[in-house]
Amino acid sequence: MFFGLFRGTSRRLIDHLHGEIVAAAREPVLFTEYGIPDDLDGRFESLALHAALVLRRLNALPAPAPEIAQDLTDELFRHFDIALREMGVGDMSVPKRMKKFAEAFLGRAKAYHEALNAGPAALAAALSRNVYAGQGGAERLARYVQALEDGLAKASLAELVEGPIFARKPAAIA
């Protein structure tokens, strides 16, 4: 089937997964109705959230999914590097900034993983702390994230590879 592609994971596959994550993270409703700040930090938070969900699912699936998760993580950080350089961050400063991105991303992925395991209140608290800088108002976002998590939990590797990753759109969650 498609597992032959995963030795040195196919560029097309990683581009597909990355593109799905970026498209979901840039849904305008997340910024206009959910109140995620429409700035560099808010866009990072949205991307980190959506990527963490996909990586969580990939790491829960049997091989070669964890290898794909690593390749996808590498791709995410490659794009962070590109974005920093396009913003004019100098070559000497990029590694320091990348270290901060890595710490922030990995911290959020861990927090969301633990919160999803702990329940709705913990998820809302983690989202409030990270996405909304502790200002609250994360209940709707928590319902959206839980809906994404529920959909991803049922997805096989083939479904992640072949189709849209995120079946639920944020506008559909009240």
The alpha carbons of the chain give a radius of gyration, in whole angstroms, of: 16
Helix or strand run (H / E) with residue 32: helix 28-32
Separation between Cα atoms, residue 156 and residue 149, nearest integer Å: 13
More confident residue, 107 or 93: 107
**Number of structural domains found in the chain:** 1
The reply to whether 2 falls in a domain is: no
Domain with 78, as residue range(s), is: 9-172
Q: Tell me if 56 sits within 8 A of 111, measured CB to CB.
A: no
pLDDT in tens, 104-159: 999 999 999 999 999 999 999 999 999 999 998 899 999 999 999 999 999 999 99
The reply to whether 27 falls in a domain is: yes
Q: Tell me if 73 sits within 8 A of 59, measured CB to CB.
A: no
**111, two tokens:** 């927090």
The reply to whether 1 falls in a domain is: no
Of the candidates 29, 28, 59, the one whose C-alpha atom is nearest the C-alpha of residue 160 is: 59
Q: Amino acid identity of 95?
A: P
Q: Please, what's the largest Cα pairwise distance for the chain? A: 48
Q: Could you tell me the pTM of the whole model?
A: 0.91
